[in-house]
Amino acid sequence: MKKVTVFTKNNCMQCKMTKKFLTAHNVAFEEKNINTNPEYVDYLKDQGFHAVPVVEITGEDSIAGFRPDALKQLAV
């Protein structure tokens, strides 16, 4: 099973929608909040991201933003 990590921040509507989508489709994920763990900001910047949500999937390209079309692939 692929490991799914969702980088989020507080009061982020796209983050909430991403987590809700994954939960509704029974996709297990680990949440990493940049407000409670600011060290993730540098990690995301090093990966080329400047906004959240970012969904990392083991062995696949990361998904930036709320992308139900891309997230559907995880629900299969």
Number of Cβ within a 10 Å radius of residue 31? 15
pLDDT band at 1 (very low <50, low <70, confident <90, very high): low
Nearest CA-CA partner of 71 in 12, 36, 11, 24: 24
pLDDT digits (tens, 9 = 90+) for 23-51: 999 999 999 999 999 999 999 999 999 99
Whole-structure pTM value? 0.94
Domains of the chain: 4-74 (3.40.30.10)
pLDDT digits (tens, 9 = 90+) for 2-15: 899 999 999 999 99
